[in-house]
C-alpha cells in the first residue's frame, strides 16, 4: 500500500485517495521538556542524569522509558480512534554520535523498527521525522539545542552528516509500504533563508537516488511557515505546514476573543490556515498539517474554549481535504491524548519540580511569558528602551529575551535539581518511573479523544 502523490492528493498503490490523519509521537525518540517534565534540552538532561546515577543506570531508565512510552496498547488506541497515521519524531543521536560521525548505529533503529511494525500491523502509516539534527536546525529546545544558534546552517559538516544519515534511513525503509514517507528536517530555522533551499535540492537528489518511491514531506523555513525557499516543486512531495492557533497557546486569550491585541475567531483560523497553505494550493500539491493543536490549562472553562478551537480547525481541514498530525499523543498533562497519572510514581516524584518549572516559566511551550514578571519586566523594559530597533530572528525581541533568560539560563540551572531526584533510587524504582508512561498507567483526556474520534468517523 505504498503511497505516492497524485495531484493534490496522496493515493495508495491501487490509486485510492488516502488522507493521512493522526498524531505526532512527541517526547519519545526525541524527548521534549514539557512532554516528560525535565528542564532545558534532551542531551543536557541525559548528561545530568548520567552524572547523578551513572551511565548504566541512566540507560536502564531511558531505554525502559522508550519501551513503555509506546507499545501495542497505544497502537490499538489510535487505531480504535480511526487514525491512519503517526508522525514519529526522532533525534539523530539515536542513529549516529558526535564522536563517531558518519557511522550509523544499527542498534539505534530497534525502537523505531518496533513502533513502525506495531503501527503497520494495524494499517497505520508512519511519517519519519528527523526532529533534531547535528548542530540543530532551529533555535529551540525541540531540536535538542542548548543555545539559541542554529549551527546546522553554518557548517557543511553537519549538512553532510544529515544527507548521509537519510541515505541510510531510506535504504533501510525503501521497501516498507506502511512508511508513508520521510520528513527530513523538522521546522528549519535558517535565519538568512539562503542555505535551506540549496540544501533541500541536495537532500532530495540524494534521497531519490536511494529510494525513488517514498513520499517526501518537506517543512518550509522559519518553523514550517515560509515556502519561498523552494525553487521547484519536487516530484512526489508534500510541502508541510504547521498551524498552531494563536488563541491556543498558553498565553492565549478567550476564544473567540482577543489574544495579544488580535481578535481570534473561526474566521481568523480560516485566514491563518489559508495564508499558511497558499503555496500548496497555488502549486496543486497535497495539504498536510504536520503539527497543530492547543494546550490545555486544567481550567474547565478555558479548556472548553481550547476544544472549540480544535473542533473549528478540524472542520477547516475537512473543508480543504487537508491531512493532519495532532501534537502530541502522550505527555505529563499539557496537550496529550493521554498523560502520566498524577498519582503515579513519576509525577509523585517530579510533580513539585514540574510546578517549579511552571512557576518560573522555564519551558518555552506552556509558558505564558508572564511568570516571574516582577523580575523580568524591568529587563524587557530595558531592552525596549535601549534597543528599540532590535528584531532578532525568528520571533522578535520579547521572545528572544525570554528564550535566553527563561528557557536557556534558568532551564539549564534547573538541570542538576531534576537529575538529583533520580539519586538513591533502586533499579526497580527507576523502572517504575519509566513505566509511569505506559498506557495502562496513564489517564486519558476523554473530551479530546472523543472529539478526534467523532471527526475521524465523520
Contact between 208 and 184 under an 8 Å Cβ cutoff? The reply is no
Distance CA 63, CA 75 (A): 19
Distance CA 431, CA 55 (A): 15
The pLDDT score that the predictor gives to residue 45 is 98
Question: The pTM is what?
Answer: 0.98
Q: Which of 121, 187, 282, 446 is catalytic?
A: 187
The pLDDT score that the predictor gives to residue 420 is 98
Residue with cell 523552494: 230
Contact between 3 and 19 under an 8 Å Cβ cutoff? The reply is no
* DSSP character at residue 38: -
Distance CA 404, CA 347 (A): 28
**What's the farthest any 2 CA atoms get from each other in the chain?**
63
Q: Which of 32, 42, 96, 291 is catalytic?
A: 291
Contact between 275 and 269 under an 8 Å Cβ cutoff? The reply is no
Alpha carbon distances (Å) from 443 to 29, 338, 439: 21, 6, 8
**Residue 337: all three cell numbers together:** 491524548
Confidence of residue 234 (pLDDT cuts 50, 70, 90): very high
Nearest to 415 by CA among 64, 91, 52: 52
The pLDDT score that the predictor gives to residue 458 is 86
Q: What is the CA radius of gyration of the chain?
A: 21
The pLDDT score that the predictor gives to residue 300 is 96
Per-residue model confidence as pLDDT tens digits over 421-433:
999 999 999 999 9
Residues facing residue 226 across a β-bridge: 221
The pLDDT score that the predictor gives to residue 161 is 98
CA angle 202, 206, 208 (to 5 degrees): 115
Distance CA 70, CA 73 (A): 8
Confidence of residue 362 (pLDDT cuts 50, 70, 90): very high
The pLDDT score that the predictor gives to residue 37 is 98
DSSP assignments along 315-330, one per residue: HHHHHTT-EEEES-SE
Within 13 Å, how many C-alpha atoms sit on residue 293's CB side?
Answer: 24
Distance CA 249, CA 54 (A): 37
Contact between 377 and 371 under an 8 Å Cβ cutoff? The reply is no
Q: Is the pLDDT of residue 132 over 80?
A: yes
Distance CA 436, CA 167 (A): 36
**Residue 68: all three cell numbers together:** 513503555
Confidence of residue 1 (pLDDT cuts 50, 70, 90): confident
Alpha carbon distances (Å) from 4 to 94, 159, 214: 28, 27, 7
Would residue 187 show up in a list of annotated catalytic residues for this protein? yes
Per-residue model confidence as pLDDT tens digits over 154-181:
999 999 999 999 999 999 999 999 999 9
Omega before 328 cis (within 30°)?
yes
**Residue 411: all three cell numbers together:** 532551564
The pLDDT score that the predictor gives to residue 231 is 85
Per-residue model confidence as pLDDT tens digits over 314-338:
999 999 999 999 999 999 999 999 9
Residues facing residue 216 across a β-bridge: 182, 237
Amino acid at each position: 500500500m505504498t503511497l505516492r502523490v497524485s495531484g493534490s492528493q496522496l493515493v495508495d498503490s491501487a490509486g485510492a485517495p488516502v488522507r493521512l490523519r493522526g498524531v505526532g509521537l512527541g517526547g519519545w525518540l526525541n524527548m521534549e521538556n514539557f512532554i516528560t517534565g525535565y528542564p532545558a534540552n534532551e542531551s543536557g538532561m541525559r548528561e545530568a542524569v548520567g552524572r547523578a546515577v551513572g551511565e548504566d543506570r541512566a540507560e536502564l531508565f531511558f531505554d525502559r522509558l522508550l519501551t513503555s512510552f509506546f507499545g501495542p496498547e497505544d497502537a490499538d488506541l489510535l487505531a480504535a480512534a480511526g487514525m491512519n497515521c503517526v508522525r514519529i519524531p526522532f533525534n539523530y543521536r539515536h542513529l549516529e554520535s558526535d564522536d563517531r560521525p558518519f557511522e550509523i548505529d544499527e542498534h539505534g533503529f530497534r525502537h523505531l523498527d518496533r513502533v513502525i511494525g506495531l503501527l503497520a500491523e494495524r494499517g497505520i502509516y508512519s511519517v519519519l521525522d528527523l526532529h533534531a539534527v547535528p548542530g540543530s536546525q532551529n533555535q529551540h529546545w525541540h531540536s535538542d539545542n542548548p543555545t539559541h544558534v542554529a549551527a546546522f546552517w553554518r557548517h557543511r559538516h553537519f549538512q553532510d552528516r544529515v544527507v548521509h544519515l537519510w541515505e541510510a534511513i531510506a535504504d533501510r525503509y525503501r521497501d516498507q509500504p506502511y512508511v508513508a514517507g520521510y520528513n527530513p528536517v523538522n521546522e528549519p530555522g535558517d535565519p538568512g533563508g539562503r542555505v535551506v533551499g540549496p540544501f533541500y535540492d541536495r537532500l532530495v537528489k540524494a534521497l531519490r537516488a536511494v529510494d525513488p518511491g517514498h513520499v517526501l514531506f518537506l517543512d518550509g523555513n522559519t518553523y514550517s511557515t515560509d515556502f519561498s525557499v523552494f525553487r521547484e516543486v519536487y516530484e512526489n512531495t508534500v510541502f508541510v505546514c504547521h498551524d498552531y492557533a494563536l488563541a491556543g497557546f498558553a498565553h492565549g486569550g478567550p476564544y473567540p476573543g482577543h489574544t495579544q491585541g488580535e481578535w481570534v475567531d473561526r474566521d481568523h483560523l480560516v485566514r491563518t490556515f489559508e495564508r499558511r497553505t497558499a503555496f500548496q494550493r497555488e502549486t496543486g500539491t497535497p495539504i498536510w498539517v504536520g503539527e497543530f493543536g492547543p494546550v490545555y490549562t486544567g481550567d474547565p472553562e478555558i479548556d472548553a474554549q481550547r476544544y472549540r478551537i480544535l473542533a473549528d480547525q478540524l472542520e477547516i481541514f475537512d473543508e480543504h481535504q487537508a491531512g493532519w498530525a495532532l501534537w502530541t499523543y502522550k505527555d505529563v498533562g499539557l496537550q496529550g491524548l493521554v498523560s502520566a497519572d498524577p498519582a503515579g510514581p513519576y509525577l509523585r516524584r517530579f510533580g513539585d519540580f514540574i510546578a517549579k518549572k511552571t512557576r518560573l516559566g522555564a519551558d518555552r511551550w506552556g509558558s505564558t511569558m508572564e511568570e516571574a514578571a516582577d523580575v523580568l519586566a524591568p529587563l524587557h523594559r530595558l531592552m525596549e528602551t535601549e534597543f528599540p530597533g532590535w528584531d532578532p530572528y525568528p520571533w522578535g525581541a520579547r521572545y528572544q529575551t525570554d528564550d535566553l533568560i527563561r528557557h536557556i539560563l534558568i532551564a539549564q540551572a534547573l538541570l542538576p535539581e531534576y537529575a538529583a531526584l533520580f539519586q538513591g533510587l533502586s533499579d526497580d524504582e527507576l523502572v517504575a518511573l519509566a513505566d509511569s508512561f505506559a498506557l495502562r498507567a496513564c489517564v486519558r483526556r476523554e473530551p479530546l479523544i472523543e472529539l478526534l474520534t467523532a471527526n475521524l468517523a465523520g
